[in-house]
Structure 1
Amino acid sequence: MAQGRLERRLGLSDAVVIGLGSMIGAGVFAAFAPAARAAGSGLLLGLALAAAVAYCNATSSARLAARYPASGGTYVYGRERLGDFWGYLAGWGFVVGKTASCAAMALTVGSYLWPEHAHAVAVAAVVALTAVNYAGMHKTVWLTRGIVAVVVAVLAAVVVACLTSGAADPARLSLTPDTTVGGILQAAGLLFFAFAGYARIATLGEEVRDPARVIPRAVPLALGLTLVVYAGVAVAALAMLGGDGLGRASAPLTEAVRAAGLPALAPVVGVGAAVAATGSLLALILGVSRTTLAMARDRHLPHALAAIHPRFKVPHRAELVIGAIVAILAATADLRGAIGFSSFGVLVYYAIANASAWTLTRAEGRPPLLIPAAGLAGCLVLAFALPFSSVIAGVVVLAAGAAAYALRRALAGRR
């Protein structure tokens, strides 16, 4: 098959939809509980802090994507602006961490749709979505539009049900004496993961029409819309359950609508969660395959994965390999509780993006220096404010990638 360039098919609305499909995913149904355990009702401050850091990262990524409109996202930016190693480290953390996230999302789909056969459903979901991505970007965007519409409708129903219920209490939004700065920072780190999908727009830079104009508009627009949705859901859930109740909830939004006196809405929320997890999985496979493509072009991964399908104009070998790996993981292991390092890896990924944006000149479209500086500092603070086990797992994964890079360079030097 031919190796070449991907086809530029995505306009502004397509790019925004991809971003929304990546961010308004399964995280909104699950992320608020661990954030509330860390910060109580202070999770609203954590959400605001996560959004502020995400805005800095989004701005830096958008300016870099306009300058380097190629597949790979921060892998490309780090390589071009900071050197080969930093680009590689960003790409390594993204591919390894997000591959585990793919398996976790697949198992989430299975758990909601058919809990007794979650692994089988997860594998079927991976196969189906890999086939959709393989068939071309047009099919992917079409399916993403439908997923976003369903999930937003379900979330709107949850917000209305909670805020119009007589059981809702605005006093539950107030900070409690046990709220700490450390808890708010940890909540921000956990909630940041839910915002990270805007990177998918930058990762698809090679498939966006007029990227210098479209990407800088699409990224903040998708991020702003997502923040509005998340803030509404967080306020509604806190008003119904309070910080303690939300922290104890195994299915926060389902318990919120039951507390609002609408138990009939609970199955609808479950379907919405399954659809959201499907959307997250679709976008994750998309992003991982494009970063794999970029790393394969530079031979950090097998060069055969750099092939572009002559008809569908997608990195078909990368998509098939990633799909196969995710299907195997989903069939054999439950990674839902073991991917804490993914949040750490995402924050390191964006730290490298902000450091790359710092090196841009004004002529190259550099944002005000305060933005990459605040983004870099925010990413590092939130990364190391995560639970200790997540930090250790993230450091181990990045260290393994660095060791592999050093070994490859040493072998290349001998040859």
Structure 2
Amino acid sequence: MTNVTITAPAAERLQLLRVLGPAHIWALGVGIVLVGEYMGWNFSVGKGGMIAGLAACWVAGLLYTCVAMIDSEVTSTIAAAGGQYAQAKHIVGPLMAFNVGLFLVMAYTMLEAANAITVGYLLDTVAGMMGHTGLNQKPFIILSIMFLAWLNFRGVLATLTFNLVITAIAFLAIIALFVSVQLGASAVPMDFSAITTSPLPYGWIGIVAALHFGLWYYLGIEGTCQAAEEVRSPARSLPYGTMAGIMTLLIAATMTWYVCSGLLPWEYLGQAGTPLFDAARVTGNTGLMVLLFVGTMFSTLASANGCINDASRAWFSMGRDRYLPSWFGAVHPVYRTPYRSIVFLVPIALIFALGAPLDQVVTFSILSGLLGYTFMTFNMVMFRRKWPLDTIKRGYVHPLHPLPVIVLLTLCAAAYFAVFLGYGTQLSAMMCFYIVASLWFHFRRYQFVRRGDQFTMPWPKPAGY
């Protein structure tokens, strides 16, 4: 009798499910960002007046158009979870990849905290309108973050389908307010007299200062890259979803500035917590007030939902590559989600949502995003030099290179200066934080990184190597 040795098959490594299409990518990008139309952007008006707010809207739109173009090319080629982190890992090197991953996690986690703060503030405002003052906001902040974390835990398809629906409703609410005001549904007429009577209350420097919060209109559109490993056709879905998203946001941002600046005094608008909802209240139209209340709630929930998705994917990718403890690189055996990363980041978001002012949380998110955009400029140049257009297949090739890179780097430099004007101490503290984190990675964590396991793209050797 012949002895037969049966070898057990190697255990299959659990992977994220490829279930998303272009509409989900649009919902992820716009869902994260659309809350910027409902709150936060208006601080730019307080920095420099109505004209400065409009200039910040369009200049920031140009910056993010460059971001979307660059991201669409690189991510449609490097279709891996982690987005810009995966790009840095393949193109630049480990230290840059670690920092970029950290930029992403902090930007999205702080944005998530800002959304939760807005939910609590909005409910407190509505309760005050009904005569119930002094509403405790903290339970609603905690509940919103916990519910969305649970939704992300259960699966990405349900999460982003939910985002698709509520993001579409929030976007339609902005259009409805704009059209209704144009058709005379407002009890208060549109008034743009401040443009002539007080065009630049703080001088030309106000336009530069306004750019700081102008970024909030679009911050997070780059998050579409985080779902690259869960998209059915990355070469098609990522560019289509991202470029459609930035066009949607440019339209929504301009309409938002127009309606709010016409209905609200710029002095009030510059410090309002929920400007679009306040504009609807000024109209005196109950239907518009209800619609914009729903729109504000849906936009904040969609944004926080997308932020949990993106931050957890970046954290998961770093754990999988041993940039962080490999414990974070686990995939749930049933739901196929990075569940440990999702759960780990929840208390961090809660700490900032419950203990920090909204403008500082917003600034933390903006600065982390800015550092990531600065990286994109060098990353794009190195990508084109190492792998020219004829060496590897790209899902999308952005035009006019290197003009978008030059424009993006220039606008990032202006944005750093704008942040320094109002939040120089926080800018310095954040830079120190990232420097300390880099030193920790270099001296303590890098020894665990397996460089050979990181490069998953079937590319030829870089040009010149």
TM > 0.5: yes
Greater share of residues in helix: 1
Which residue of 1 is the match for residue 58 of structure 2?
A: 48
Equivalent residue for 1:13, pick from 23, 26, 40: 23
Deviation of the 1:78 alpha carbon = 2.2
**1:285 and 2:308 aligned:** yes
Q: Which has the larger radius of gyration?
A: 2
Per-residue displacement from partner, 1:257-292 (whole Å, max 9, x unpaired)?
343343664354233222211111101111100110
Per-residue displacement from partner, 1:295-328 (whole Å, max 9, x unpaired)?
1122222211101122222111111111243345
3-state secondary structure, aligned to 1:236: helix
**1:98 and 2:108 aligned:** yes
**1:404 and 2:423 aligned:** no
The 3 A distance-change label for structure 1 pair 390 and 92 is: farther
Which residue of 2 is the match for residue 393 of structure 1?
A: 426
Which residue of 1 is the match for residue 191 of structure 2?
A: 169
Q: Give, in whole Å, the separation in 2 of the partners of 1:328 and 1:221.
A: 34
Equivalent residue for 1:196, pick from 213, 219, 223: 219
Which residue of 2 is the match for residue 116 of structure 1?
A: 135
Q: Give, in whole Å, the separation in 2 of the partners of 1:117 and 1:176.
A: 39
Quick check: 1:70–1:206 contact (8 Å CA) kept in 2?
A: yes
Equivalences for 1:253-272 in 2 at 5 Å?
Answer: 253-262=276-285, 265-272=288-295
**1:58 and 2:81 aligned:** no
Deviation of the 1:225 alpha carbon = 0.9
Equivalences for 1:177-188 in 2 at 5 Å?
Answer: 177-178=200-201, 180-188=203-211
**Paired amino acid for 1:345:** S
Quick check: 1:383–1:391 contact (8 Å CA) kept in 2?
A: no
3-state secondary structure, aligned to 1:159: helix
Per-residue displacement from partner, 1:172-212 (whole Å, max 9, x unpaired)?
55681536443223323312123122112111111112212
Deviation of the 1:57 alpha carbon = 0.8
Which residue of 2 is the match for residue 300 of structure 1?
A: 323
Quick check: 2:324–2:445 contact (8 Å CA) kept in 1?
A: no
3-state secondary structure, aligned to 1:204: helix
Which residue of 1 is the match for residue 298 of structure 2?
A: 275
Q: Give, in whole Å, the separation in 1 of the partners of 2:154 and 2:377.
A: 34
3-state secondary structure, aligned to 1:354: helix
**1:128 and 2:143 aligned:** no
Quick check: 2:228–2:234 contact (8 Å CA) kept in 1?
A: yes
Equivalent residue for 1:38, pick from 41, 47, 50: 47
3-state secondary structure, aligned to 2:37: helix
Quick check: 1:109–1:122 contact (8 Å CA) kept in 2?
A: yes
3-state secondary structure, aligned to 1:238: helix
The 3 A distance-change label for structure 1 pair 375 and 177 is: closer
Quick check: 2:277–2:289 contact (8 Å CA) kept in 1?
A: yes
Which stretch of structure 1 is more off in the superposition, 286-295 or 147-156? Answer: 147-156
Q: Give, in whole Å, the separation in 2 of the partners of 1:127 and 1:241.
A: 34
**1:373 and 2:395 aligned:** no
Quick check: 1:173–1:242 contact (8 Å CA) kept in 2?
A: no
3-state secondary structure, aligned to 1:301: coil
Which stretch of structure 1 is more off in the superposition, 7-16 or 86-95? Answer: 86-95
**Paired amino acid for 1:121:** F
Which stretch of structure 1 is more off in the superposition, 46-55 or 333-342? Answer: 333-342
Q: Give, in whole Å, the separation in 2 of the partners of 1:179 and 1:98.
A: 32
Which residue of 2 is the match for residue 318 of structure 1?
A: 341
TM-score by length of 2: 0.81
**Paired amino acid for 1:178:** P
The 3 A distance-change label for structure 1 pair 293 and 389 is: farther
**5+ residue gaps in structure 2?**
1-10, 125-133, 449-465
3-state secondary structure, aligned to 2:54: helix
Which residue of 1 is the match for residue 163 of structure 2?
A: 144
Deviation of the 1:391 alpha carbon = 4.3
Q: Give, in whole Å, the separation in 2 of the partners of 1:86 and 1:398.
A: 15
Deviation of the 1:56 alpha carbon = 0.5
Q: Give, in whole Å, the separation in 2 of the partners of 1:243 and 1:5.
A: 50
Q: Give, in whole Å, the separation in 2 of the partners of 1:299 and 1:119.
A: 35
Count of residues paired in the alignment = 413
RMSD: 2.6
Quick check: 2:22–2:241 contact (8 Å CA) kept in 1?
A: yes
Quick check: 1:113–1:274 contact (8 Å CA) kept in 2?
A: no
Q: Give, in whole Å, the separation in 2 of the partners of 1:35 and 1:324.
A: 30
